[in-house]
Amino acid sequence: MKNPYLLLTFATLFWAGNFVLSKAMSTEIPPVALAFWRWSMAFLLLIVVARKQALSDWPQIARNIPVLIPISFFGVAAFNTLIYIGLQDTTALNSLLLQSFFPVVVAGMSFIFLGERLRRWQVVGILLSLCGTLLLVARGNPAVLLSANFNDGDLWIITAVFCYASYAILLRYRPPVHALSFLVITFGLGTLMLLPFYLWEHTHIAQIRWEHNTVLTIAYLAVFPSFISYLFFNEAVRRIGASTAGLFSHLVPLFGVSMAILLLGERFHSYHAVGACLIFSGIFLVIRHKKARQQNRVIKENKYY
């Protein structure tokens, strides 16, 4: 497959399937077990494909373990585990739409922790997206916000979004190793971090039952949204750049909402539409003015050549 845009389309389709399938199996597979076995299998697949590259990059990896640990924690161990926990109590629709808040959270955290300046319209965009998120959390009922009677699942999803935003910010400190080597070490470290939580869940909460549907679910999650999607996404980034490839992340809620309605029979309410419009309007303002600032910087730099 040579077309990078087709690679990105399939990658986001598989990521959307992660939410829908995980929701469908949320009563069958304990959340930490689902995350642990997903990343364990994905790690084993990567070892087969990328072990030579990872061994070649090992000296660089070893020197950068202090930064790779938090990257692995937020991006692998925490993010999807919190999503799976949240899906025990909320709908796939809400989880997908709340995920759309991610680019705005990244912009806000970059301002707070990295000192990146926000323009007036970017602030407006963040506030719009925040209003859309609150509307989804309240299920369209302002009284929910006033009473602080939130759905636990939505709060887990929002926490997961902040974890992945932390991962995105930390990526600027990732070591200069091959993309496959980076995935091997982060998948491996993330799996190790999940192991004690998995053992605790297995002993005290619930145990995974290795039935036909369970095996197929974990196989799908390990192969498609983990292994193949990352390979497709990394190859697309290599060809067309991260900024362009990143815009395709907005296809995840589009694909996911469609699948949740068609496959899970979830209902699309008016507050979903209003909340999604507010979130995407905010994202548009943040991205538009970020791109405009980058273009102005390039113009100014070119004046001196």
- What is the distance between the alpha carbons of residues 72 and 211, in angstroms, rounded to a whole number? 29
Q: 265 vs 47, which has greater pLDDT?
A: 47
| pLDDT score for 305 | 36
| pLDDT score for 188 | 96
Residue 22 near residue 38 (C-beta atoms within 8 A): no
Q: 122 vs 228, which has greater pLDDT?
A: 228
The 3-class secondary structure across the chain, one letter per residue, is CCCHHHHHHHHHHHHHHHHHHHHHCCCCCCHHHHHHHHHHHHHHHHHHHHHHHHHHCHHHHHHCHHHHHHHHHHHHHHHHHHHHHHCCCCCHHHHHHHHCCHHHHHHHHHHHHHCCCCCHHHHHHHHHHHHHHHHHHCCCCHHHHHHCCCCHHHHHHHHHHHHHHHHHHHHHHCCCCCHHHHHHHHHHHHHHHHHHHHHHHHHHCCCCCCCHHHHHHHHHHHHHHHHHHHHHHHHHHHHHCHHHHHHHHHHHHHHHHHHHHHHCCCCCCHHHHHHHHHHHHHHHHHHHHHHHHHHHHHHHHHCCC
Most confident residue range from 18-22, 29-33, 99-103, 234-238 = 29-33
Please say if the pLDDT value at position 206 is more than 80: yes
| pLDDT score for 69 | 96
- What is the distance between the alpha carbons of residues 48 and 58, in angstroms, rounded to a whole number? 16
- What is the distance between the alpha carbons of residues 75 and 108, in angstroms, rounded to a whole number? 18
| pLDDT score for 145 | 60
Q: 50 vs 127, which has greater pLDDT?
A: 50
| pLDDT score for 244 | 56
- What is the distance between the alpha carbons of residues 93 and 103, in angstroms, rounded to a whole number? 18
| CB atoms inside a 10 Å sphere around CB 185 | 25
Please enumerate in sequence order all residues whose Cβ is within 8 A of that of 98, keeping only pairs 6 or more positions apart, or say none: 133, 136, 137, 154, 157, 158, 161
Please say if the pLDDT value at position 5 is more than 50: yes
| pLDDT score for 303 | 37
pLDDT level of residue 282 (50, 70, 90 thresholds): confident
Residue 289 near residue 122 (C-beta atoms within 8 A): yes
Average confidence (pLDDT) over 63-67: 95
Please say if the pLDDT value at position 222 is more than 90: yes
Please say if the pLDDT value at position 70 is more than 50: yes
Average confidence (pLDDT) over 26-40: 94
Please say if the pLDDT value at position 204 is more than 50: yes
Q: What is the pLDDT of residues 283-293, one digit of tens each?
A: 677 666 655 55
| Window from 32-36, 55-59, 86-90 with minimum mean pLDDT | 86-90
Please say if the pLDDT value at position 297 is more than 60: no
Residue 272 near residue 93 (C-beta atoms within 8 A): yes
| pLDDT score for 225 | 92
Please say if the pLDDT value at position 23 is more than 80: yes
Mean pLDDT of the chain: 82
Whole-prediction pTM: 0.81
Single-letter code of the amino acid located at 50:
A
Q: What is the pLDDT of residues 154-191, one digit of tens each?
A: 889 989 989 988 888 888 888 989 888 999 999 999 99
| pLDDT score for 34 | 96
Please enumerate in sequence order all residues whose Cβ is within 8 A of that of 279, keeping only pairs 6 or more positions apart, or say none: 97, 100, 101, 104, 128, 129, 132, 133
| pLDDT score for 193 | 97
